[in-house]
Structures are given as C-alpha cells and as structure tokens.
Amino acid sequence: METRLVEAPGSEEIRRYRMLVGGEWVDALSGKTFESTNPYTGKVWATAPEADEEDVDRAVRAAREAFDEGPWGRMTGTERARLLRRFAELLAENAEDIARVESTDNGKLLREMGGQLKSLPEWYYYFAGAADKIQGETIPSDKPNFFVYTRREPIGVVGAIVPWNSPLLLLTFKLAPALAAGCTFVVKPAEQTPASILEFAKLFEEAGFPPGVVNVVTGFGDPTGRALVRHPGVDKVAFTGSTETGKAVMKDAADHLAKVSLELGGKSPNIVFDDADLEATNNGVVSGIFAATGQTCIAGSRLFVHGRAHDELVERLSEKAGTIRLGDPLEAETEMGPVAFKEQLDKVQGYIQAGQDEGAELVSGGKRPDTEALRDGYFIEPTIFTGVDNGMRIAREEIFGPVLSVIPFEDEDDLIWQANDTDYGLAAGIWTRDIQKAHRVAHALRAGTVWINAYRTLSFNTPFGGYKMSGLGRENGLESIKEYTEVKSVWVELSGQTRDPFTLG
C-alpha cells in the first residue's frame, strides 16, 4: 500500500480505511466495518475494519515475530534511534494533513490539533536520543569472587489502547519510549476516532521500520480491546481512558500477569488565592476547562476561589464564556468545537441537569446553541456553576465536557483538604503571587502534576501520571523508559573455584 498520506479531508466522499498488521494493510477477517462520524456535521465521513479476536491474535503474533525473530530485536539502540529520527522527520512533513484528519474525527480545534501534531516529532527526537542510553549498573558485590551487573532489556510486545480526545498525542506518550526501548507494538484506537492513527501508521514503512514492529487494529472495546488486553502474547498493557475501564483492563491483564500502566480520569482542582493576578487567572481557568471543549483528563473542572476574589473572577469568567466562539473546528476563528460524539453530549447534558437538581446555580451556558450553523453538530455551551458543594456529583465525577464547578474557600488548610477530597489525583493548578504559599500548597496536593500560575502544559521530557484513581505509572521523560523495560541481574563468578553446592552462594 502507498505509504504517503491521502489528501486532507474536505470532500463528501467516505474514506475507507484498512488496518496495519505485520507490515500489510488488511481488512478484518470477518469483512465487517464500522463508521466514524464527524462531530461537527453529524455525518459519517470514514469507515474502518471491525477487528475481532482472530484479527487481534494475528496482530500480536506479528508483533511477537518482529520482536523475537525479525531484525528489530537485533538492532542496537543507535540503529533504533536512527529510525526514530527518520520517523520524526516524516511526521513533521505530514503534520498538517494528519491534524486535519484528527480534527475531523474528534471535533477538536484544528489549531489545537495542529499545535499537537507539530510538537509530536519532538517526542520521537527526544526518545531517539535516549535509545542508546538505556543502560544498567555495576553492583558492588558483597561476595569478593563475583562481578555483578544489571541490564535493562525491552519488555516485549506492548498492547496499547488510546482514547478519542487526543489519539496521537496519547499514543505517542506510549509509543515513543516503547520503540526507544526496543519493544514492538499493537495499538487499538478508540472506535470513535480511528482515522488519525491509521494515517499516522502509514509513515512507519517509509521510515524503514521492519514489518510488525508497529501494528494497528481497529474496533470496539469488546471484543477488540479486551482481546488485546487478555492476549497471552502481550507482555505489557498501556491504557489511557476512564477509571472504570482502567480497572477492567487491569483485571483482564492480571490473568496472564502482563505489566500495566494506566493513565485514567481526573477531577482536578484549579486553586485561586485572593492575591492572584485575576486577568492571567481568568485566561488560565478558561484554558483549563473550555479549551478542547473540556474533553481532557487534566481539565481544571473544580475551581476553588478565595472568597475575596470569588465574585470578580466569576464575573470575568462568565463574560468570557459568553463570548467564546463555537463553530467549525477546521476554521481558524473557532475557539470551541463540538463534543466528540452523541453519547458524550448526552452525558454532559445529564451532568448539567444533575448540577441544577442538586442546587448549584447555573450562571453561564448549560444549553445547546440553537443556530442553523451549529444545529447538526454535538455542541454544548461553555457552562459555569457557582454555589457548588464539594460533595455534589458535578464536583466529584469526571464530566469530560465544558462544565466548571466554582467552590469558594477561606482557609488554606480547609482548601487543601477539599482539593484532596477526591478519588482522583491527576493534576492541579495554583494561582498566587506568594511563591512560598505556592510551593507549600503544591507539596500538599495529592496530584501527579501541579502548575503554578499556569495550566495545561505538558512536555516530552517531564513525567506525567496520576495518584489514586488517576492511574499507575508515568509517561514522558526518562522515567517512562522504565515502563517498557525489564531489569536483569547478571552474576559472574571470578575465582573459578568449586563451592559447596548445599549452601547459598
């Protein structure tokens, strides 16, 4: 199959994708397909194969063969790094087209997807630099007749499942360190957004990766995703998605003791003290909850505001929320796109109703826009609730939409208690001019990432992951290499003497 990307979306023609298995582009063995809907138009724009257990087995076997028998398993870190750098170059060349595909598939702004795609090559350059530096240690032995050292070796075949909100970014969090470590890979995209990963996968052959190193199977959580997680040929499962699904993934992987890393949900506190710069804070809060239509695990969905700043900040936020431009995500002037699919829209609307039923005050948004240009898409207005109690459902459960719960506070100790009074611990924000207080509160928060006077910033070289029900393990940075390697200890006897076989050496 031609490895260059097809033209960016724009016609009414439905695209028909195939899966990548063992270096070949294939249909599902059953011949079944499923549809992907453009959330802006509400119309089907692409189809992909509906893989079943047999298709997954074929992909895992291809990955295993590439790892055990193909040239990939014999490559040095320097050789893998060369391929990763070539792939990064190709990705940079094709970033704009792939961004349009992803925006069409999940409804996020093209300017956001474009920014993500332009930054993604940096992940592959970074981990290319790490590929030949994955090293062990020499251990000072307590036994003078032994030389002891360790090796870090690739864990093997990785099965990855990624969500619909940022498919390629969240895939890259896993794929770049796994390839640097020498693993092979089978990924299942979300059934709502298969297209961008299939376009992206076309670049691996052109970059020179051997067949079977990277495989893509498309389909639904059950049977496709579950078959991948449960497959005994998968050595490591890397999952991003909801906490409930993450629990199921962990249980299924436990049947064959596959290692697991999980990047799950969040209900992140964004904390504003009364000495904060409210103009900068207002911008940061909007970025934290309304950018990406709130469809991000790190969304700053619980806004804790000191009483002296509460009314002014709410007024600023309401004014801004009312002017956010909803529209076609492919248009440069659009500031917020649709929710990614109908079921998610229904979920968001259900939470907005629940907030009102529980007594929170709806001060902005909460409705679907009733204009001809937006009527067919899955749009919901930027929504702000005040008078929220930390025990309400809208303050405790992940909504994954543009819904902000504002909670007032007066005392720092009580604030920390409330901020940590959640099942989640993925991220948090702190807004204050008092640097001592900023660090003090940052240290007290139970969250994997804390921003001070900023929000929603990530990098390839900084570990990312959660506490509590927000997951296990870390992605990005050199820390992530550990997720895709095993440590082997090697003992070398130096004296050549025979020892007593009935004592521990």
Per residue in 181-224, pLDDT (tens digit) is: 999 999 999 999 999 999 999 999 999 999 999 999 999 999 99
Do 228 and 280 fall within a single domain?
no
Please indicate, yes or no, if residue 5 is contained in any of the structural domains: no
Alpha carbon distance, N-terminus to C-terminus of the chain? 57
Do 247 and 289 share a domain, yes or no? no
For residue 39, CA distances in Å to 193, 298, 321, 343, 463 come to: 11, 22, 21, 11, 32
Does 297 qualify as catalytic in the annotation?
yes
- Say yes or no: 349 and 380 in one domain: yes
Counted domains in the chain: 2
Q: What is the C-alpha to C-alpha distance for residues 213 and 67, in angstroms, rounded to an integer?
A: 7
The CATH number covering residue 410 comes to 3.40.309.10
Contact 81, 129 (CB under 8 A): yes
Sign of CA dihedral 444, 445, 446, 448: negative
- On whether the CB atoms of residues 242 and 162 are closer than 8 A, the answer is no
The 10s digit of each residue's pLDDT in 81-128 is 999 999 999 999 999 999 999 999 999 999 999 999 999 999 999 999
Give, in degrees to the nearest 5, the angle at Cα 36 between 33 and 37.
Answer: 145
| Whether residue 121 is found in the same domain as residue 137 | yes
Cα distance between residue 252 and residue 256, in whole Å: 8
Q: Indicate whether 448 belongs to any domain.
A: yes
Could you say which of 102, 183, 205, 297 is catalytic? 297
- Per-residue pLDDT of 303-356, as tens digits, reads 999 999 999 999 999 999 999 999 999 999 999 999 999 999 999 999 999 999
Same domain for 286 and 260, yes or no, is no
Angle between helices 435-444 and 412-420 (to 10 degrees): 40
Same-domain pairing of 333 and 479: no
- Look up the domain containing 275 and give its range: 269-452
12 C-beta neighbours (distance < 10 Å), count: 7
Give the active site residue among 263, 381, 398, 475. Answer: 263
Give yes or no: residues 182 and 254 share one domain.
yes
**Position 279 in a domain:** yes
In a domain, 499, yes or no: no
Half-sphere exposure of 173 (CA within 13 A, CB side): 25
Place of tokens 């902000």: 404
Question: Is the separation of the CB atoms in 464 and 474 below 8 Å?
Answer: yes
Q: What is the pLDDT of residue 4?
A: 42
Task: Return the pLDDT at 11.
Answer: 55
34 in a structural domain: yes
In this structure, what are the phi and psi dihedrals at residue 16, rounded to the nearest 5 degrees?
-120, 110
Q: Identify residue 246 by its one-letter amino acid code.
A: G
CB 254 within 8 A of CB 232: no
Instruction: Examine the residue annotation and report whether 183 is marked as an active-site residue of this protein.
Output: no
Q: Is the pLDDT of residue 490 over 60?
A: yes
191 and 296 share a domain?
A: no
CA dist 88 and 122 (Å) reads: 7
pLDDT at 7 over 90: no
If asked whether residues 305 and 375 sit together in one domain, one would say yes
Mean pLDDT of the chain: 96
User: Does residue 356 share a domain with residue 321?
Assistant: yes
Residues 373, 375, 378, CA angle at the centre, nearest 5°? Answer: 115
Q: What is the CATH number of the domain that holds 163?
A: 3.40.605.10
Q: What pTM value is reported for the model?
A: 0.95
Give yes or no: residues 308 and 235 share one domain.
no
497 inside domain: no
Residues 252-279: what's their mean pLDDT? 98
Residues 150 and 95 in one domain: yes
Q: Does residue 105 belong to any structural domain of this protein?
A: yes
| CA 104/CA 45 separation, integer angstroms | 9
What are the CA-CA distances from residue 52 to residues 130, 189, 222, 340, 466 (Å)? 36, 14, 9, 24, 32
Residue 3 lies in a domain: no
DSSP 451-483: EES--S---TTS-B--EETTEES-BSTGGGGGG
